[in-house]
Structure 1
Amino acid sequence: MKHLATSVDPEVQAQKDFQTQIRLASRAIVLNKQNEILALYTDRFDDYSLPGGGLRDGEDPIVGMVRELQEETGAYNVRNIQPLGIYEEFRPKGTESGQVEHVVSYCYACKVADQLKEPTPENYEIQNGSHPVWLDIHQAIAHNERALMDPSHHGENLERETFLLRLAAKELLI
């Protein structure tokens, strides 16, 4: 799978000695016939993100992507799965100095059924007010770009999510 980008948090760049923990994840980019993207809107951060998350031990990235997509959005009949690439992040892990999380996200484009079933989000997703929405991809990008202008406002994933939304608009729109 091709390399898309690497993001290094400024706090990590400033560290000379650190221990790295790898976290593998998968992300789904789903566009419908109207060029709307299936995203998660999060009330807590007022932003849009792509369905996806951490892989379980030994889990295949495609299997994990389908699982996360179903859990977070209720999407089903996942098909036409195409690899897009790998997005890497190096960010501080927790509050302990010298701990760095290296997140490797396997990104896939796919199609799903037009209707969504009831999602089964995790507790933190419920607490953050995450819910699935179909929206114009350019609207999602513009919204996240505004959020990027206020660093105190956004979550740690906003840079990645906005990059992947831009990539989808550039490479996947019909």
Structure 2
Amino acid sequence: MVSARVFAVAPPALAILALSGCSSWGCTDTTAERGKAAARVQVVDTYGQPLHVTASVVDWRLEPHPQVPAEGDWVHFRFRFDGADAYSFDPAVDACAVDSRRVVVGCQTVFSSEAFGPADDPLTGDHWLAVDRPEQVAAVLLIPNDQSYDRPTCERDIKDGGGMHPPEPPGSGDRL
């Protein structure tokens, strides 16, 4: 027979375990759905809500990277963030080079704080993207999901992890 003493101690003990992070009952990871890629996007948070920041590809071209010209052509693209305040938050989006069927040939994340262009256009920045077959590149597109917030996962931190995470960056061969 179980004593009344066990019933009196069990609920507080379980509450202490749950509050101390020793319980995984409350930790769940959720991944946001990837937004539609375009040359100009409204940046959204992990819940799909607009951040009032617009990111756009200003232009792009294929040319040898000046530091490694022997490697052949790279994708050199310029981007712009409108509405971002680098002092309060630093939104980031994935920029992907795609072929004519919108199949990814390479991606990288660009942050609004990297947009510190010339005085006549300080909201612009540029990046170089190495791809295996540069002749296949037909466009550079941006994915609207903010990639700047790296929340810990339940696996890494059972106590403070979990919640909504940005979608995984697309890999070569994914269609946007």
Pairwise TM-score range, normalised by the shorter structure: under 0.3
| TM-score, normalised by the number of residues in structure 1 | 0.22
TM-score of the superposed pair, with normalisation by structure 2: 0.22
The structure whose residues are more often helix, as a share, is 1
Q: Is the radius of gyration larger for structure 1 or structure 2? A: 2
